[in-house]
Amino acid sequence: MIKSSIRHLKDNDMTYRQHFMFAVGHGLKCIKAGLLLVCHGIIPSIFQQAGSRLVYKLNKSFTEKG
């Protein structure tokens, strides 16, 4: 597992700290998007684009290098 983790960090050109901040930050943003989308599901007139906008930004961040 350690070798696999080291390889993953090298493949993504990140230090452990950089990867931690990236992964945790994006994880928290995913939770936020999920909560916004749940609220929108309950009350369709709120957060009409906030959830999809956040999901779009997350996708862009994961797919674009640099």
**Is residue 14 in a domain?**
no
**Which of these, 32, 26, 21, lies nearest to 61 by C-alpha position?**
26
**Is residue 1 in a domain?**
no
High-pLDDT (> 90) share of the chain, %: 61
If you average pLDDT over residues 7-27, what whole number do you get? 95
CB atoms within 10 A of CB 3: 7
**Is residue 12 in a domain?**
no
Question: Where are the alpha helices (H) located in 1-66, listed in sequence order?
Answer: 2-11, 16-42, 50-63
Amino acid 25: pLDDT: 93
Q: Please name the residues in contact with 50: beta carbons below 8 A apart, sequence gap of 6 or more.
A: 36, 40
**Is residue 62 in a domain?**
yes
Q: Give the chain's domain count.
A: 1
Which domain covers residue 66, as residue numbers?
A: 24-66
**Is residue 54 in a domain?**
yes
Whether 56 shows a pLDDT value over 60: the answer reads yes
**Is residue 44 in a domain?**
yes
**Is residue 15 in a domain?**
no
Rg (the chain; Cα; Å): 15
If you average pLDDT over residues 40-60, what whole number do you get? 89
